[in-house]
Structure 1
Amino acid sequence: MSDKYFSPTDYLLTNINDQILTITLNRPDALNALRPEMLDGIRNLIEETENDQNISVIVIEGAGRAFSAGVDLKVLQGIDPIAGKIGDVFDKPAELAWSTIRKSRCPVIAKVHGACFTGALEMALHCDFIFTTVDTKFGDTHAKFGLRPTWGMSQTLSQAIGVRLAKEMSYSARIILGDEAVKIGLANRAEENKGDLDALINKISSEISSNSQGSIKAFKDLYNLSQTGLGIDEALKAEFEKEYPEIKDTNDRLSEFK
């Protein structure tokens, strides 16, 4: 493994296997509750992949019993949030981390098991995919603790499942399970258990890695464009006119077609 993929904090672990960089949230005794240095670490690790063609997929997972219970509330108790905002100590690292996930040339997979609440759900929603298990618990508990979203929940959740269902989840703080998350469009697939989830992630990651990284970068950029509110004519024009010189393997791949 290259030294650049060693995390500066013990709260994150890294592993590389077959072009897949796995970032593991590593606070299992605290259900991987998020701290600012974890968000900085995620951003730094993903930024390092931008010019590394040996990495084609990034997976974010949690150690132990859960993906993540969300923001570490003990840290919040020392921040004194104002008007429901948790403040720059968390918000600045989160903004930079989520932007890096969205703009990464690599697809980013949220591999979610056990629990995924609030800030962790916001992180997962910024990823390209959410794969989970049928019994994983998802929830938005901002309102339960007198907080308001500042990491994108009001936008990404409503885009994923529609405004009415998003309002229901946020206003009620209701917990849903992985199988329901798939039904409403929050998650891509839900496997029966963690072992099956591991196998699915390996399969999906391998399928992605076998395709053109340049083409996938273009697709990711263009799918992000679809979420900017452009009208269909303007968006189609942009799709046609944007250039992706990173796609250099077209002829080689076509020559392999039999």
Structure 2
Amino acid sequence: MQYQDIILEYQDAIAVITLNRPAALNALTPLMIRELKQAVSEIAQNSTIKVLIVKGAGRAFSAGIDLKALNDGIQGGQFKAADILEDGNQLAQTIRSMPQPAIVMVHGHCYTGATELMMFFDLILAADDAKIGDTHTKWGILPKWGMSQRLPRLVGILKAKEMSFTAKPVTGQEAERIGLVNKAVPLQQLEETAFALANDILQNSAQTIAAMKHLYNEGFSRSLEEGLALEQAFITEITDRVEFLKNFEKNK
């Protein structure tokens, strides 16, 4: 299908989605989030695609929610107020449940809703001078895409409180140090690093990676005993996905 606010491309076994509103620093519109949800859902069902990479066009990954576009979309009748919240949470769940590892590249600004979006992904790469922050408290609004739960799980409760209470961003380099991103590199090396990571993933069993992703995600919030039981029972729990995973491996 044709998209307006994103670009979807396929490079062999890698799908690449680009947030494509560079003049607005890729501020998130209701349409962009809906298009992201649709594109990721398409990729999740494509057994020939083994890795997803998402990036932003121009000078930034994303400056956060575009409030003007949100209001215009609601007033114009194209979207309801709750649509962007629902679509964003459905997008998060699709990325979490899709068999492919999902990588996000962050550069320039990445604030608030964009930081929440960033944390949907399995692997996060950042330019070392990127600015990543949570400004919900600056604007007097509460998170709706999981900031209060995902951020402390990545950086710890104390650092999460500091970032949210002060609304001050951290650099990509600092984000790597505190565990918010996997790796920070100079901006000119960011895309090369992302594709190198994707190609490292492609050298391994796609089916096993899909299973490991499921076990990590589902076991992370459980006790050790529950997680171990999940691992032991995994094969019987995915009988509805066995044929898809077989094809996923066959198309490697």
TM-score, shorter chain, exceeding 0.5? yes
What letter matches 1:139 in structure 2? Answer: G
Counterpart in 2 of 1:10? 4
Instruction: Specify which of 201, 210, 221 is matched with residue 208 of structure 1.
Output: 201
Distance 1:187 1:28, change over 3 A: same
Q: Is the 8 A contact 1:213 1:247 kept in 2?
A: no
Contact 1:118 1:139 in 2 (8 A): yes
Q: Equivalents in 2 of 1:238, 1:141: separation in Å? A: 37
Q: Extract unaligned runs of 5+ from structure 1.
A: 1-5, 81-85, 254-258
Say yes or no: does 1:140 pair with 2:131.
no
3-state secondary structure, aligned to 1:160: helix
Q: CA RMSD in A?
A: 2.1
Cα offset for 1:64? 0.2
Q: Which runs of 4+ in 1 moved over 4 A?
A: 76-80, 247-250
Q: Is the 8 A contact 2:115 2:132 kept in 1?
A: yes
Q: Select the residue among 35, 60, 78 that pairs with 2:54.
A: 60
Paired residue total = 238
SS state at 1:21 partner:
strand
Verify: 1:242 aligned to 2:243, yes or no: no
Structure 1 residue 162 displacement after superposition = 0.5
Tell me the equivalent position of 2:21: 27
Write 1 or 2 for the structure with the bigger share of helix: 2
When the two structures are superposed, what TM-score results if normalisation uses the length of structure 2?
A: 0.89
Q: How big is the shift at 1:124?
A: 0.7
Alpha-carbon distance, 1:101 to partner: 1.1
Question: Shift in Å at residue 225 of structure 1?
Answer: 1.2
- Whole-Å Cα distance in 2 between the matches of residues 112 and 232 of structure 1? 32
* 8 Å Cα contact 1:68-1:115 kept in structure 2: yes
Measured against aligned partners, the alpha-carbon deviations of 1:140-172 in whole angstroms (never above 9, x if no partner) come to 011111100110000110100001100110111
Q: Which residue of 2 aligns with 1:256?
A: none
Identity value in percent: 37
Preserved CA contact (<8 Å) 2:34 2:84: no
Question: Paired residue for 2:172?
Answer: 178
Q: CA deviation digits over 1:60-96, x for unaligned, max 9?
A: 100000000010021355699xxxxx95132111111
Task: Give the aligned residue type for 1:242.
Answer: F
1:134–1:185 Cα change, 3 Å: same
CA distance in 2, matches of 1:151, 1:185: 20
Distance 2:164 2:229 in 1: 36
Amino acid at match of 1:208: I
> 1:240: Cα distance to partner?
1.1
Q: What is the rounded CA distance, in whole Å, between the counterparts of 2:248 and 2:103 in structure 1?
A: 24
CA contact (8 A) 2:106 2:125 kept: yes
